[in-house]
Chains A and B, each alone.
Chain A
Amino acid sequence: MKTIRLQPAAAALLAVLGFTVFGGCTNAGLVRVHPWERATLADYTMRPDRDLLATAIADHIYTSRESATGGRGVGGSGCGCN
């Protein structure tokens, strides 16, 4: 098997690149929204069900696409088995 030997500078560059790309995935890279900073998140406009008509339309599309009558609102999955 042919091995690739990296120069130290290239290895360091690769490491920095890796940390830059994946650093956001680390715990330290996460931005934590504290409980007292959630005014915007608690706003009414952030609710997914704030528009009844849009919710009904989305449900219709969902149940039509999935061929599952009842969709989210009825017990069972539309297969008729329960």
Chain B
Amino acid sequence: MSSPDLSLLPAAARQPAADPRARRRRAAAWLGAFALACACPAVAPAAVALGAPFPKLAPSDLTGGALPATSGKVVLVDFWASWCAPCKASFPAYAKLFADYAARGLVIVAVSVDENTAAYAAFVQRFRPPFAALHDRQQLLVRAVNVPAMPTCYLVGRDGRVRFVHAGFHGTDTERELRREIDALLAERR
């Protein structure tokens, strides 16, 4: 039987145990390696940060309707799901924002992350949003963005960079903040 490859272990763990002190050092090295494995974070994609370019909205990934033109516009991208109660509360607020700001250049793209297509369709049928409510059926976009909570909305500036992020929907507080931020973004020149 060939000896195992211990090259990845700390140096102290690879040393032969000659005396009690060396054995203690080796035991400590093993414990250290195990503690390091415990502390090692699970591999996860990095979330889209403020100031970073928002991932490209690909029509092939988003089904359920036409993707509006977003180039050079202020875009509110909202990630929602039919099973998420705050998402339901957010739709009437987004409808009001759309009514007030669409003429000034705001585009709203609500992206459903539902795994159940029928649930997505029933939600859209019930709320009939005036803005684009598309379906990220394979959850490609939401994985790329790595949203921290449901719902999360991203306000993207005319330059395509994320300017504001709202994790969760907190009723009129969120709506008020969104209005202030949208006003600021629409006032910016390209």
A and B interact: yes
Point out residues on A near B: beta carbons under 8 Å: 3, 5, 8-9, 12, 15, 18-19, 22-23, 25-28, 30, 32, 34-36, 38-39, 42-43
Q: Give the complex CA separation of A12 and B1 in angstroms.
A: 12
Is the pair A26, B116 in contact by a Cβ cutoff of 8 Å? no
Q: How many residues of B contact A (CB 8 A)?
A: 34
Chain B nearest CB from A11 CB (Å) reads 9
B44 neighbours in A (Cβ, 8 Å): 32
With A12-B4, A19-B37 known to touch, is A39 a contact of B42 (CB < 8 Å)?
Answer: no
Other A-B pairs, 17, CB within 8 Å; known A9-B3, A25-B38, A26-B37: A8-B4, A9-B4, A12-B3, A22-B34, A26-B38, A27-B38, A27-B42, A28-B40, A28-B42, A32-B44, A35-B147, A36-B150, A39-B83, A39-B114, A39-B115, A39-B116, A43-B83
* B54 located at the interface, meaning its Cβ lies under 8 Å from any Cβ of chain A in the complex: no
Q: Give the complex CA separation of A8 and B6 in angstroms.
A: 10
Nearest first, the 7 closest Cβ-Cβ pairs linking A and B are A12-B4, A36-B113, A42-B83, A26-B38, A35-B150, A36-B142, A39-B83
For B113, give the chain A residue with the smallest CB separation.
Answer: A36
Is the pair A35, B139 in contact by a Cβ cutoff of 8 Å? no
* B69 located at the interface, meaning its Cβ lies under 8 Å from any Cβ of chain A in the complex: no
A35 neighbours in B (Cβ, 8 Å): 147-150, 152
B37 interface neighbour in A3, A12, A28, A36, Cβ under 8 Å: A28
Q: Give the complex CA separation of A28 and B91 in angstroms.
A: 37
With A8-B3, A9-B4, A32-B44 known to touch, is A38 a contact of B150 (CB < 8 Å)?
Answer: yes
Is the pair B42, A18 in contact by a Cβ cutoff of 8 Å? no
A26 neighbours in B (Cβ, 8 Å): 37-38, 40
* B57 located at the interface, meaning its Cβ lies under 8 Å from any Cβ of chain A in the complex: no
A15 neighbours in B (Cβ, 8 Å): 30
A27 neighbours in B (Cβ, 8 Å): 38-42
Instruction: Give residues of chain B (1-19) contacting chain A, Cβ–Cβ below 8 Å.
Output: 1, 3-4, 6, 17
A42 neighbours in B (Cβ, 8 Å): 83-84
